[in-house]
Amino acid sequence: MSSKKAFRVLGKRTIRKDGIAKVTGQEKFSSDIILPNMLYARMLKSPYPHARVKSMDVSGAEEMGAVALTPQEIPDVKFCPRLVSTPEATYKDWKVLSEKPVYVGEPIGAVAAETEEEAQRALEAIKVEYEPLEATFDALDSMKLRQQLHDEILLKDEGIKVKNNVGCHLDITEGDVEKGFGEADVVLERTYRTNRRYQNQLETKSVVVRPEPGGGITVWSTTQSIHNSRLLLHEIFGIPVGKIRVMKVAAGGFFGSSIQVNPVVPVAVALALKSWRPVKMTYTREEDLHDHVSYQMIFNLKLGAKRDGTLTAGQLEAYLDIGGHQIQAYPLLGCVVGWWVSLYKLPHIKYVGKAVYTNKVPSCAFRGYGSPQITWAVENLMDELAEAVGWDPLDFRLKNYIGLGDVFWGQGPTVKCIVQSCGVEEILTKGAEMVDWYHRPRPEEQTGRYRRGIGVGRGFHTSSAGAPVPSAVVDFGGAILKLNEDGTLDYITALMDHGGGTMTAHAKIIAEELCVPLENVNIVQGDTQTTVYDVCTHASRGVYAGGGAALKVARKVKDKLRDYAAKMLDAYPNAVKFRCDRERGQGVIYAEGVEGKELTFEEIASTARYKNWGTIASVESYRQPSCPPHFTGYFVEVEVDTWTGKVKLLRVVAGADIGTVINPELAAAQVHGGFLQGWSMAIIEDTPYDPENGDLMNRGFINNYKIPPPPDLPQLDDFTVFFAHTYEPTGPFGAKGLGEGALNPVAGAASNAICNALGVRFYELPITPIKILRALKEKEVE
Amino acid sequence: MKIEFTLNGRRRQFDVEPNQLLLNLLREKLYLTGTKYGCGIGECGACTVLLEGEPVLSCLTLAVDVDGREVKTIEGVAKGDNLDVVQEAYLEEAAVQCGFCTPGFILTTEALLRENPDPSEEEIREYLKGNFCRCTGYVNIIKAVKTAASRLRQARNQTSKEQTP
Amino acid sequence: MYINKLNTHIIPIRFEYHAPTSVEGAVELLSKYGEEARLLAGGTDLLVKMKQRLVEPKYIINIKKIKELAGINERKDGIHIGAATKLRTIERSKMIKEKLPVLHEAVISIGSVQIRNMATIGGNLCNASPSADSATALLALDAKARIFGPEGATIIPLEKFFVGPGQTILKPNEIMVEVSSPHLTEDIGTSFMKVGWTSFDIATVNIAVVLKLEGEAVNNCRIALGACAPTPIRTHRAEEFLKGKELTSEVLEEAANIVSEYVRPRAHWRRAPSEYRKAVSKALAMDALTIARKRIEGM
């Protein structure tokens, strides 16, 4: 269902508003900020995966003239760096600087000096005595370990004891799975193990903090939420909220790695407060690799189906390897089951989820927040199950997918909505036609060296965590819009643009609603003092929720304009109309049919000034009524060289249902980027650990973390992206999100393609050439 | 050590330590922060600058090693707000997302098109190998290079037409 | 400890910097400073190692100002390439592409445009990684290295140049001045192949083949294999096996098997286990020989 409305700016090709700054190198990122009198800071990191810090002697550093910071100098506050959940769902086990580090790379101290080189020397002059403790590197082993990584953690500010190194758990049962499996003709159960991918955002975590006279601080940092950063710093340091000014600044990619306040931020704040000078801390790439990573997951997945193609029941046991600390493990447990049950209709479900501590880099969200992992597993099992019940895998999916009218779990069990727009049919049938799905190769018919396969993967992601009722997830935003004296508008929001063009989308929504040229909407780079609360740019909520807020303030401004225009035109406010006058470069309000009765926004604004009527502006918060899923589907064609195990990517056909498409080229770009991340997830990414020293095998060096470059990707003509024709009634002009849906089903499609080529299925990621050759050899032996 | 080199068309003099990297000289002493640190070991290309028109990695170049040479950074490409053909193409083809890799890509593209004004898609892909982008999946970047190449060729044909009596 | 010594933002150590303008000058400095000095060519290996704190030289000797160290010269006895010749110069050389195509193929597989604009062939060889792509190609070409020390110049076969992983035969006061390859005759076909995890990667396995046929039979075949042993190597047993034989598919497979037997597992091999390298070296050997033969036929 689509609303075939002709939009003036939405859906048109436009240049992104922050584009000139980016292509000329003038865009300032946190890591670019340089202030007068600034100190350069370096983090002291634990070299052990698990240890007690017995003593720390910073005299060597201080003798060099550096400012040193020890854990004792920081307020003794245990916190969770991510402030998206409500208190009853927030587990706290972090300190700013640890005295009992639980992963190699954990911050245990810091220094700041006049130059980076001096700071580095000062860092090396710090003497630390450690008592190494037993360490664990596998979630399943962790649960058997006697020693707990954390003896006591906080939940809603109350201490709870950790058992079996399980940080938190979640069990959900709906219906009767035994009955459901009993009704099935085929029941399949498999174990899946994902990789531990690193977000690899190009800008490493950075912060600059400037102490202000009167006890305040100004902060520029890599963050997805300026307001949550402010709140956390208030929680830790006690500085009044209004005195913490967190600036909105461009960032070199997030992919979920700064939903939480990154460890560099409170450390730099402490150094700035101690030295009374601005402090900058930019992580090196190797430090960044020790800072955050995605959630590695182990699934025992069981699905039952009848020969008539219906699914009867599902059971999922999920182990999340969360590393040394919790960032958002508990909400993630809910999201994993939510994504799982929202892929296909399961009449009965049983879910047992455990988040387990290991002595590894702490896990945090990576685009999709558990969905790439569970979708990979499910899409694989759906292929196997389809074959077992004698159904084509695509038809099997078409028969069972959660779609229009079904319940969708937008962000775990406490955030649900009913699907009101759905393009899954269009995506899958159109894509199938493009790749000639029903005539795709059969693995048993291929015997040569090079084998081809086509695989499908479908999925979705939520567009924000909005819903009609409150939940365990804070999700709302807000915006400010004001009319300038020349008829242009200033738009201010705390929502961040990761690079997807979210701000431009907001500007287009405003321009569309108010009938002004796009150039007339200025995007103001605000801060926490000049914006109202927005929870965070994550959960693919930038356009749906953020754009919703933009639309809300645009409508309020429109109403005020209407009133003032009516006054000036001596017309009725509810009868005047808006149009865009390109020649004059203005929005115009007119009384239809009456010649001469029209005003430009500029005329209204300047009259409002001379007549002292006031500024035409609006400040609003906005809570989205829903969490509509945006749907994606990928058809991937590969060719496997059975002599080297290398997989060549031949062709990609991708369909996306995002409701109204606001920025077509940038939306397609989300699909391109999400696809490469998913492809890379399927075949190469991982951060293995060295059991000898408990550190990353690659020590943090990025030369071992390869992502396929352009020559390894299909030709432009072989990568097709199309959008379904849908309209989301609860979204601004019918729009939904896209960011995470662009990634979620890709690894599933890629794995299925490789399996179609080889007749061998893989239950562990990444599917490397080494694993492929090994599997082919084993198959030969059989 | 005293060094002198041409930076974005102007002769500059500096006193540097031998272990000073060109990247940091540009970013910290000159506030030319368009050139970025992405990895420090030559894997990502975010620190790309042009040395006599050739793309090199400033994170692995000692400042003393550019004494007497010609360096161009992203700041030397546009003339104020007047973008050059490559920059415009990147914007039009939506090849810019977070923008952190963009300066490196633009400089590498400038060099590619100067050396090879009519590159095939394969040649473009090979040439851009050393510039890493996590956001775009490279598709629109390659489109931008093609668009820029085509426009530059057109402009060249136009100029030569005008010059031919 | 190690993790706190790493800082790839900067070069975290101080050193004395020299930029001699003659080979003798470089050797003098090397003789003076010995193990505490390092030669700086492209910097793409040395500076990375310094940032990784794997090497901390007190003296850096920049050799890029020594004019005679760079340049490609075609002489009667072969093609001579100065050690400080940039890889990009070699890549752009029409003469090398035409006359030593296997070297051209190897060089364009190294790094990226940026890296090749900085890195030198001497650096690639003296860094002596077992996976050095130019080494594999040059070994198959029966290349020679010219070394200059306090006592003057010596010429040694490149096969003797590599001693172990990251180790060459060079003494601390010696410098590689040039590498040279004999001319290839017209009835020779060559091929260089490499498998990395992506196309911007070092080799998991690389191979170079220089093949001369006499009629249908192999007159002479040189096969070099990289990343499979402590150094890049020649696979002489495979070469011997092929002499005088026709390149039937059985012969090809047998030769490739012999090549794969040269894979010698190393204790700290993290990239790929020997079973993988055996399989891939065999595959590449077959591919490279096939392509080399096709190229003879194509002439």
Residue from B28, B57, B59 whose CB has the most chain C CBs within 10 Å, to mutate: B57
Q: What is the mean pLDDT of chain A?
A: 97
C-alpha distances out from residue C111 to B128, B130, C133, Å: 11, 7, 10
- B163: confidence class by pLDDT, cuts 50, 70, 90: confident
Mean pLDDT of B53-61: 98
pLDDT in tens, A350-374: 999 999 999 999 999 999 999 999 9
* Predicted confidence (pLDDT) at residue A592 exceeds the cutoff of 90: no
Token duo for residue B89: 């193409």
pTM of the model: 0.97
Place of tokens 């002198």: B4
Residue A666: HSE in the Cβ half-sphere, 13 Å Cα cutoff: 31
Whether C298 shows a pLDDT value over 80: the answer reads no
> What would the DSSP string read from start to end of A615-647?
--EEEEEE--S--PPEEEEEEEEEEEETTT--E
pLDDT digits (tens, 9 = 90+) for A419-445: 999 999 999 999 999 999 999 999 999
The structure tokens listed for A623 are 């809570």
DSSP state of A348: S
Using beta carbons and an 8 Å cutoff, which residues of B are at the interface with C?
1, 17-21, 24, 37, 39-42, 45, 48, 51, 54-57, 59-62, 64-65, 108, 111-112, 127, 129-131
Query: Which other chains touch chain C, taking contact as 3+ CB pairs less than 8 Å apart?
Result: A, B
- Asked whether the predicted pLDDT for residue A180 surpasses 60, the reply is yes
Please indicate if any CB of chain A lies within 8 Å of the CB of B57. Answer: no
As to burial, measured by CB atoms within 10 angstroms (0-12 exposed, 13-18 middle, 19+ buried), residue C185 is exposed
Comparing alpha-carbon positions, the chain A residue that sits nearest to B28 is: A34
Q: What's phi and psi for C80, nearest 5 deg?
A: -110, 130
A45 Cα to chain C: minimum distance (Å): 6
Q: How far is B161 from chain C (nearest CA, A)?
A: 30
Are A279 and A208 contacting, i.e. CB atoms less than 8 angstroms apart? Answer: yes
Query: How many Cβ atoms sit within 10 Å of the Cβ of residue C160?
Result: 11
Which residues of B are less than 8 Å from A656 in CB distance? none
pLDDT, residue C22, reads 97
**Number of Cβ atoms within 10 Å of the Cβ of A635:** 30
Min Cα distance B127 → chain C (Å) is 6
Q: What is the DSSP letter of A416?
A: E
Determine the distance in angstroms separating the CA of B162 from the nearest CA of chain C, rounded to an integer: 32
DSSP tag of B135:
S
Nearest of C192, B95, C134 to residue A710 by alpha carbon: B95
Which segments of C11-64 are extended strands (E)?
Answer: 16-18, 37-40, 59-62
- Structure tokens, A344: 């296909």
Q: What percent of chain A has pLDDT over 70?
A: 99
Q: How do residues B75-97 score in pLDDT, each as one tens digit?
A: 999 988 899 999 999 999 999 99
pLDDT average, residue stretch A184-207: 98
Option in A200, A251, A716 nearest B142 (CB): A716
Task: Please report the ipTM that was assigned to this predicted complex.
Answer: 0.97
CA A294 – CA A499 distance, rounded (Å): 20
pLDDT band at A1 (very low <50, low <70, confident <90, very high): very low
A752 sits in the region (left: phi over 0; alpha: psi -120 to 50; else beta) called alpha
Q: Is the pLDDT of residue A155 over 80?
A: yes
How far, in Å, CA of A755 to CA of A647, rounded?
11
Give the integer Cα–Cα distance in Å for A525 and A520: 16
For residue range A250-263, what is the model confidence (pLDDT) as tens digits?
Answer: 999 999 999 999 99
Give B91's contacts in chain A (Cβ within 8 Å).
15-16, 19-20, 23
Identify which of B16, B97, B108 has the alpha carbon closest to the alpha carbon of residue C113.
B108
- Judged against a pLDDT cut of 90, whether residue A4 lies above it is answered with no
Is the pLDDT at A2 greater than 50, yes or no?
no
Checking A587-591 for CB contacts under 8 A at 24+ apart, the result is A587/A487, A587/A514, A587/A515, A587/A516, A587/A520, A587/A561, A588/A515, A589/A561, A589/A562, A589/A565
**% of residues, chain B, pLDDT over 90:** 92
Q: Taking 50 as the threshold, does the pLDDT of residue B14 lie above it? A: yes
A754 confidence band (pLDDT: 50, 70, 90) = very high
pLDDT (0 to 100) of residue B165: 62
Contact B129 C40 (CB under 8 A): no
Run of H or E residues at B104: helix B102-115
pLDDT for A585: 97
Task: Give the C-alpha separation, A244 to A207, whole Å.
Answer: 14
- Mean pLDDT of chain C, nearest integer: 96
Residues of A in contact with B133 (CB under 8 A): 202
Looking at the DSSP bridge assignments, the partners of residue A383 are none
Assigned token pair, C120: 């030198």
Range with lowest mean pLDDT among A61-65, A257-261, A741-745, B155-159: B155-159
* Residue A437 token pair: 């799905």
Residue A5 scores a pLDDT above 90: no
- Per-chain mean pLDDT for chain B: 96
Residue pairs spanning A and C at CB distance below 8 A: 84
Query: Does A21 contact chain B (CB < 8 Å)?
Result: yes
Name every residue whose Cβ is closer than 8 Å to that of residue C245 and which is 6 or more positions away in sequence: C217, C218, C251
Residues above pLDDT 90, as percent of chain A: 97
Cα B18 to Cα B1: distance, rounded to the nearest angstrom? 7
pLDDT tens across B103-127, in order?
999 999 999 999 999 999 999 999 9
